[in-house]
Amino acid sequence: MGMGRFFPRLFSSVVAVLLLLVPASRPSQEQRKPKKKEKSVRKEILNFDGGILFETDGSLSDLTCFRLAGRVTAPNFFDEFKRIDDEYGTQYRRGQEILTEFPKELHVSFVILDIPCSSQLQQSGPRKYLTQEMMKTLRFSFYWKRGIELRHIESLKQVSAMAEPLEPYNTGSKEELPKRYRWFLEYTVPSTGVPLTDRLVLIVHTPDGRKVARVAARL
């Protein structure tokens, strides 16, 4: 065997032995750490089948307070209507159909009924019920709200306004009790091209501009 052949074989054998003697490299600290699971986004589904409900309390004075409660509807639009929030964002669906805008027109109906003011719940005292004269002075304004921007809705239409007498609390009393009513009001609001992410805001105020109630109907 020549020396030329001997040295390459010897070199290969030495390298092989050295590789066997080198310990396997340990995983780095980062490699050993278990991977953190991505935070899962909880899927939330809100059902608006039948329309958007809204409610708030208002006051004309410390003696006269009321509750306003209503609903926003549109023919067939809110049938099986849902808002879905998941890892992909927010979607509005009617059945399997994805929606992005309100219909051409919305129907807003609400009822107003006087209630005790918060101070009157703590202790008995004078109370003045909401009268027809008071109701006639109130102004109802509608707005579209996007972020902090309020856009006044000009071309809405009042469909109806009705007062329903209520039975007095104490029917056996011989005193002349004040008449109480429940008021029903209906409006149609134009909504062509309005995105579903906008909120419909109702503000009630007196003739001098004082705000007595505010409520938002939102999806």
> How many C-alpha atoms does 182 have within 13 Å on its Cβ side?
8
Q: Is a pLDDT exceeding 90 seen at residue 218?
A: yes
Secondary structure (3-state) at 57 = strand
Domain that holds residue 84: 36-217
Q: Is residue 78 part of a domain?
A: yes
**Average pLDDT taken over every residue of the chain:** 82
Q: Is a pLDDT exceeding 80 seen at residue 38?
A: no
Please state the domain count of the chain.
1
Cα of 198 vs its chain's centroid, Å: 10
Find where tokens 């102004």 sit. Answer: 139
> What is residue 109's predicted lDDT score, i.e. its pLDDT?
97
Q: Is residue 29 part of a domain?
A: no
Sheet of strand 149-152: strand arrangement = 149-152, 139-146, 199-205, 211-217
pLDDT in tens, 148-191: 999 999 999 999 999 998 876 655 554 566 788 899 999 999 99
Q: CA–CA separation, 200 vs 103, rounded Å?
A: 13
Q: Is residue 115 part of a domain?
A: yes
Among the residue ranges 98-112, 174-188, 199-213, the one predicted with the least confidence is 174-188
Whole-structure pTM value: 0.76
